[in-house]
């Protein structure tokens, strides 16, 4: 075992320890609270309505949880997603759906103890088509999330089959850090024709990806991954795809705006997406909305109390650097509150 493997093993043991005792779970829940939209589906809907009514922020709601280990558990998640889709439809504002719904692949099908897809039970394509069809009847947009590289092929193949069947309310996620993504863009949207779904109806959430992937399949430098993000966006824009730019980096946001101007991409074919609770997003989203951009926040909710802790532990194992990002975000929030307080004191 090399040094990196040893460090990773120790990190996993430390996270397992935190997840196995009440203090550790409370600590993780406290640190993760700003990123969670609600501890029930209803709370998530109420938060989405509040954000839209107060700030014109759209949401994309997702259900937190540790992957489905049985067919019964995956069916439970499918039923919960259908309930969430129905609630989005029932809570329109002025006839408009203020949120879309994001689906976690590892919740839709049976996974093993490592969270990897198995051949048990229903296929991802079957589950995805069922939910997209259900949402289509209610005019709700769906996005199938992307997990680590073990899920890329199965997720993209399922999406392609759903598009081929004519469902235009499905979006996907592509991660720029993976070396394969440039080829994926070409394969998905180059000469490929989905007869029943025009490219302008297809959506791609373009992000760098949170997973620490191996150097032989991905770039490990964050700045290079961000450079690739801009490159992949250009290719998506040129293909006529609706692009959802998911980055909190203000420099890359400015580059995206410049890119849109150069390529003459209408704002109706693009939106910026942020994670709920990330201060860097709140520091710029007012500017973006003032300039006519659509802004959407990823808003995860718990189905069962404690699901968020399990989910966060799994994500921290996939990328321990998220702890550093969390601390940085907390400091940014404190600074922002301090600055607002100072401005208020001067005003009065």
- Which residue is listed with tokens 């201060």? 279
| Token reading at 184 | 């994926």
Query: 36-305 has which CATH code?
Result: 3.20.20.220
Residue 89 has a CB neighbour count (10 Å cut-off) of 14
Residue 66 has a CB neighbour count (10 Å cut-off) of 17
pLDDT at position 348, please?
37
Q: Rg of the Cα trace of the chain?
A: 20
Residues 135-151 pLDDT 10s: 999 999 999 999 999 99
Domain boundaries, the chain: 36-305
Q: Give the residue, 53 or 7, on which the prediction is more confident.
A: 53
Residues 79-132 pLDDT 10s: 999 999 999 999 999 999 999 999 999 999 999 988 899 989 999 999 999 999
Q: Give the residue, 339 or 165, on which the prediction is more confident.
A: 165
Q: Give the residue, 186 or 65, on which the prediction is more confident.
A: 186
On whether the CB atoms of residues 107 and 67 are closer than 8 A, the answer is yes
269 — pLDDT class (breaks 50, 70, 90): very high
Alpha-carbon span 149 to 318, nearest angstrom: 11
pTM (two decimals): 0.86
Going through 22-169 in order, the beta strands assigned E by DSSP cover 58-64, 99-103, 142-144
Sign of torsion over alpha carbons 64, 68, 69, 73: positive
CA-to-CA dists, residue 343 to 101, 161, 193, 337, angstroms: 38, 54, 55, 10
Query: What angle in degrees, to the nearest 10, is found between the helix axes of 124-136 and 71-90?
Result: 20
3-class DSSP state of 107? helix
Query: Does the structure show a pLDDT above 50 at 337?
Result: no
| Token reading at 247 | 């980055």
């Amino acid at each position: 075992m090399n040094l990196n493997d040893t460090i990773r093993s120790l990190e996993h043991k430390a996270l397992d320890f935190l997840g196995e005792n009440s203090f550790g779970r409370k600590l993780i829940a406290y640190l993760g609270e700003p990123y969670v939209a609600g501890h029930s589906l209803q709370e998530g809907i109420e938060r989405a309505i509040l954000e839209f009514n107060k700030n014109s922020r759209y949401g994309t709601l997702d259900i937190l949880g540790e992957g489905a280990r049985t067919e019964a558990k995956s069916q439970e998640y499918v039923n919960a997603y259908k309930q969430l889709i129905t609630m989005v439809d029932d809570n329109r504002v002025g006839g408009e759906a203020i949120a879309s719904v994001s689906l976690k692949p590892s919740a839709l099908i049976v996974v093993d103890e490592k969270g990897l897809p198995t051949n048990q039970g229903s296929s991802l394509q079957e589950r995805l088509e069922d939910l997209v069809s259900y949402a289509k009847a209610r005019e709700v947009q769906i996005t199938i999330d992307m997990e680590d590289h073990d899920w890329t092929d199965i997720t993209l193949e399922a999406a392609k089959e759903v598009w081929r069947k004519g469902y235009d309310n499905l979006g996907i996620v592509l991660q720029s850090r993976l070396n394969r993504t440039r080829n994926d863009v070409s394969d998905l949207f180059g000469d490929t024709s989905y007869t029943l779904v025009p490219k302008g109806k297809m959506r791609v959430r373009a992000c760098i990806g949170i997973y620490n992937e191996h150097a032989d399949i991905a770039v490990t430098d964050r700045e290079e991954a961000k450079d690739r993000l801009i490159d992949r966006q250009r290719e998506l824009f040129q293909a006529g795809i609706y692009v959802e730019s998911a980055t909190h980096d203000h420099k890359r946001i400015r580059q995206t705006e410049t890119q849109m101007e150069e390529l003459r991409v209408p704002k109706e074919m693009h939106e910026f997406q942020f994670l709920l609770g990330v201060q860097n997003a709140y520091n710029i989203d007012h500017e973006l909305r003032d300039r006519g951009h659509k802004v959407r926040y990823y808003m995860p909710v718990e189905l069962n109390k404690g699901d968020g802790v399990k989910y966060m532990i799994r994500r921290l194992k996939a990328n321990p650097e998220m702890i550093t990002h969390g601390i940085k975000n907390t400091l940014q929030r404190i600074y922002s509150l301090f600055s607002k307080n100072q401005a208020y004191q001067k005003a009065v």
